[in-house]
Amino acid sequence: MAAYDDNNVFAKILRGEIPNETVYEDEHVLSFKDINPQAPTHVLVIPKGRYVSSDDFFNEASDAEIAAFFRAVGKIARQLGIVESGYRILANCGRDANQEVPHFHLHIFAGRHLGPMLANTGGA
Ligand code: 5GP
């Protein structure tokens, strides 16, 4: 696994070097609107710790960080008012998933019917 790159765009957002539209923040977590939304609601949730991917986060983060992260996802969904209508959470990990930013992040999509889980996959 590649080492954490302190120049990735989410590291810059965490340091305040790039602006963001914050949706939620606590000691361990930042959530902000995606710059290129793929649904009427599209927010990103990131840990404040330096984790390259979901693999890195799930294996290296403390129990407190992991609990805080998933508790925050639940709070954010309620705060956004998308629980009743429904939402999708997604994390891309590595090359085959097309992960673009090497700081672990979860996408939350909502606000319209999101269709099948994967599109244009070419099948199994
Ligand atoms: P990935 O493909 O790595 O799962 O998703 C990266 C996401 O980060 C993309 O949805 C992209 O639009 C978003 N993104 C990239 N750069 C920025 C940025 O500077 N600000 C915000 N808010 N989102 C960004």
**CATH number of 37's domain:** 3.30.428.10
Pocket of ligand 1 (CB under 6 A): 9, 18, 20, 32-36, 92, 98-101
Instruction: Per residue of the chain (124 residues), give pLDDT as tens.
Output: 789 999 999 999 999 999 999 999 999 999 999 999 999 999 999 999 999 999 999 999 999 999 999 999 999 999 999 999 999 999 999 999 999 999 999 999 999 999 998 876 666 7
Structural domain for 18, as ranges = 9-110
What's the confidence (pLDDT) of residue 83?
Answer: 98
Distance, C-alpha 58 to centroid of its chain: 14
To test ligand 1's pocket by mutation, which of 5, 9, 14, 35 has the most ligand atoms within 8 angstroms of CB? 35
The DSSP result for 78-108, as a single string, is: HHHT-TTT-EEEE---STTTT--SSS--EEE
Ligand 1 atom at minimal distance to the Cα of residue 12: 19
Query: For the whole model, what pTM was predicted?
Result: 0.96
Residue 38 lies in a domain: yes
Residue 65, Cβ density class (10 Å: 0-12 exposed, 13-18 middle, ≥19 buried): middle
Residue 3 lies in a domain: no
Q: How many alpha carbons fall within 13 Å on the CB side of residue 117?
A: 4
How many domains, the chain?
A: 1
What's the confidence (pLDDT) of residue 117?
Answer: 87
What's the confidence (pLDDT) of residue 1?
Answer: 72
